[in-house]
Amino acid sequence: MITYKFRIYPNKKQQRKILYQFKICKEIYNELLYQNKEYLITKKYDFNSIIKDIKITCPAYYSKVHSQALQNISDRVSKALENFFRRVKEKKEKVGFPRFKSRVKSITYPQSGFMINKKLKLSKIGNIPIIYHRTIKGKVKTLTIKVNKFNQWYVFFSCEAENKKIKNNRLHNAIGIDVGLENFATLSNGEKVENPRFLIRSEDKLKKLQRRLSRKKLRSKSRKKVKLKIARQHIKIFNQRNDFLHKLSRKLVNNYRLIAVEKLNIKGMVHNRYLAKHIYDVSWNRFIQLLSYKAVASGGLLIESTKTKGSSKRCSNCGFEMEMKLNKRVFKCDSCGLKLNRDHNAAINMLKDTVGHTEISTLADDNVRPSFLKAKIYEARTKRDELLMKQ
Ligand SMILES: [Zn+2]
């Protein structure tokens, strides 16, 4: 599944209508959850009968919201409960029953209730102006409407991804990528991808705002103002970075058939107090997620190298391992004399590690079907060594 995000501009009346729908959905969500608390012992959920009950007792609700959108609410409750039972089964500590919602922030139309023309036509709401900044490929499966706290409205289209045939000119290409702090990424062919200037500028601005905030008095008006500015700056950075990551991942997927990346230990990544580090952590994950779905959708392959422990400490030429302190930027092999940039050496290792591995894992976002991925992996396994020989 691929999700497209577009800005929409509902008028005041339409906004009120949508917000009212959010409110109804919230109440129904809570009602369903409450009823299920009762049913917990029997472990039987019959959402349809509950919805029917609400339908009879409060018909006014039903006239205002599209029936499909309500169906989606019961799906959300089911999902929350499923997750709850899964966590109970896994015996994770502190398993809490799903919470009642104080707000529902989005509404989803599965299958029907919307039409996409020059404007976005929504059942019970009307025609909403929309800015199509790109073309939608594939069949629209669901539509979701969201609003952020700055009253900016968005629509999300979830589409089934089309699986394109592998382009022949990419067949001979394989690349390893090392992500780092100095450069955003270093490729195994020595190319470096720097963090774009505009992002660095935006991040500097954020740091300045954060410093300003720390000087303000608690609960003062001016503190509130700075807080709002910080939130806006966060959104701006997120958008800028997202755009950068989308373009970079697209470029890589278009040029390389096989992409090897480091397996990032996401849980092990401590959210430390340095803001910049936090932003990088988040964007690495996002970057690999984007690479993954783009690679799969276009017939390529992303391989997570599982053997990267010490990929920067190992010589990519002879395999000799040696101590590499974090501040050492050049890898000088004591055994064979290889002299390479630290990240470049790591990126080559990343690529080499995928050869001869029996266990290779492919990262994918949750929406990509595992069976489909497995097929891709097997296909790639046979071609893999052959590809790498041609490097
Ligand atoms: Zn060496």
Q: What is the pLDDT along the chain (391 residues), one digit of tens a residue?
A: 778 889 999 999 999 999 998 988 888 888 888 877 766 655 556 666 777 777 777 777 677 777 778 878 888 888 888 888 888 887 766 778 888 888 888 999 887 788 888 889 988 888 999 988 888 877 888 899 999 888 889 999 988 766 555 444 444 578 888 887 678 899 988 899 988 888 888 888 988 999 999 998 888 999 989 988 888 888 888 888 888 999 999 999 888 878 888 766 544 444 444 445 555 656 777 888 888 888 877 777 788 776 656 788 888 888 888 888 877 889 998 988 889 998 889 888 888 877 544 333 333 333 333 333 444 444 444 454 455 555 4
Contacts of 236 (CB under 8 A, 6+ apart): 202
Gap from CA of 174 to ligand 1 centroid (Å): 22
Q: What is the DSSP string of 46-99?
A: -HHHHHHHHHHH-HHHHHHS-HHHHHHHHHHHHHHHHHHHHHHHTT-SS--PPP
- How many Å apart are CA 218 and CA 216, to the nearest integer? 6
Closest CA to 152 of 5, 9, 4, 3: 9
The alpha carbon of 25 and the centre of ligand 1 are apart by a number of angstroms equal to: 62
Among candidates 112, 99, 113, 109, which has minimal Cα distance to 29?
Answer: 99
As a whole number of angstroms, the distance between CA 242 and CA 294 comes to 14
Task: Give which of 114, 42, 40 is closest to 77, Cα–Cα.
Answer: 40
Centre of ligand 1 to C-alpha 316, Å, is 7
Q: Please say whether the beta carbons of 144 and 155 come within 8 A.
A: yes
- CA-based R_g, the chain, Å: 25
Distance in Å, CA 353 to ligand 1 centroid: 16
Tokens standing for 81? 């409960």
Q: Report phi then psi at 331, rounded to 5.
A: -90, 120
CA of 343 to the centre of ligand 1 (A): 15
Distance 308 CA to ligand 1 centre (A): 17
Q: Identify whether the C-beta of residue 261 lies closer than 8 Å to the C-beta of residue 302.
A: yes
3-class secondary-structure state, position 218: coil
pTM to 2 decimals? 0.57
Query: Is the torsion defined by CA of 160, 367, 378, 283 positive or negative?
Result: positive
DSSP 303: E
